[in-house]
Structure 1
């Protein structure tokens, strides 16, 4: 980097912090679930048009893409922010809490969208780059299957709005705000879902010998599943099998006809992912059969592993170190067992998915929690990071 050249600093976004908070709080008040981001998308499109972007709506159903060109540079960059909320009842008690019962921005997508909007305005005002910027405002990251990233890609995202590299960011509770976390190679796990129905023969609780109790079979399945990782997967390979749902019966004197289980399965390698699928399927069928019951299994392969490319990750790390200093950058953080549909974009283009600390202690409430809130301290920091990343990537 030429030391004489000037790139975006956090202080350049300080004056915009209050306006960014207002935007973020507006989005937070009006959360929209996957593929329902009509109001959010309209706000994004309006702001981008005001700032001089070429705007395309309806990409991947409710996605929005803003395009800005400057100079005669031939390179292009894509930056993605997710817009959707979660089906959670908010319990923050904040003055800008959700006005839509049962819907909440409990993962910080309101902050992600606002940070990218902050960068968009700054870049439009300064235009200290040469090339093309595509801002991908994505729907339905929380959908789990048929996600927004996949929908935008299938709608021709990278053919219509091509980029040489793509970048994305997520907040990270448990680390101080303004702290950037990176990891090249595999970073976040593949996430699969398993829906199981154990079918038995219901009857009176006083005559269990005349029934086939699916609850007992389901309980055995739950315990047996605890051995899948411990006794089938190499201990050096990260993997998780969690039973998140176990439902059966409606009364204490009735043995139900069926029991339902839902699993979350996480892994980092294709071989481990397939081994988990094989062993879970075999084990569930065999356990149910051993109790005289049967099992139906719907095994859904969800988001793939997030794999950051080495060169783009090193570049992203360098930009963060320039912006906030090496002390606030973790260049090789640990693996994360959460999943993220940005993985689909990284399968199409080289790039980097990074994390930004959202706070510690009381300020570090875990995502997907009814008490969570995005940390507004990060708005100018994240916006400045995206702006500087663009300026450095498309340096004249």
Structure 2
């Protein structure tokens, strides 16, 4: 495939520049013509110098959401599916997405369904989207489903950002506290060590402890780095085991304050995903299975898989949730009401909206609470080291005073 640079104008007169891959200049002109562009320049580029190097196999969340919204808009405007994919590929700033869309367009020209073509690229197009597209192809609601999916992934992105912010702040302050402590012990405390040694008097316990820590960090810093690296490697290996990973997910949910926030985040994700799938006529058993894969916590995943077995046997979806410590009564009651009224998707949507709002409020409260706690934590560490230096100095001044 050769690479061609083109200049063209849209119907509204907007100038467009870009690159397009094609076998020949004639085929490139044909592709551009299908995109409703007025082409006035097409030049072949050097294949080596202009070859795109794709380092990513997945897509950034923001780019993915924009792609879905643009795709929905093009379909709503009545543009043919293949032409829409060609246009999206031409204007995409993501090399991985451009390549994927070009391949999708080629497969669709060969008669492959969009959902089937997307399913071949699981790292680019999530399983949830593939199933939703498949249901849309059957019902003829492709543009609506694409818009719904854009809204869904935007909500999930926002929730993920809230969770990431809540987790990142204490981690950053913790790492900062560690490096400040190391700096003080390695570079500042030794300056006063010789001075304290010349005093001849017994030093306070706090000063003795800090001086020993300082000596340890100076002489065995390599051992500390080795142990931290070794510990990180062991933890990563252990997390690959299902039992340890399950225990880690349980611990996350049991952490005071933070655990409640994580719980609400998972409940919002679970109910929103399940509601979207059921409302798009995805079979209930398949919807539960997909949701269990998307939710991102093994505690919830296990309950959903058990619920799938219960539903298959004619039981209620809420049966394994009753009495389970993770699921609040609200979820159980709304699911039961939805099942009895035949409006399960609507009930789940209402619950997702409730927890989505609670996630927003909890995130703000959590940040307000964590900030002073971490400041106090950092102040205590620095204060102890400073105090260990100041106390013997006061004693020295009194002696020589």
- Which TM-score bucket, shorter chain as reference? under 0.3
> What is the TM-score normalised by the length of structure 2?
0.21
Bigger Rg, structure 1 or 2: 2
Structure with the bigger percentage of strand: 1
> What is the TM-score normalised by the length of structure 1?
0.21
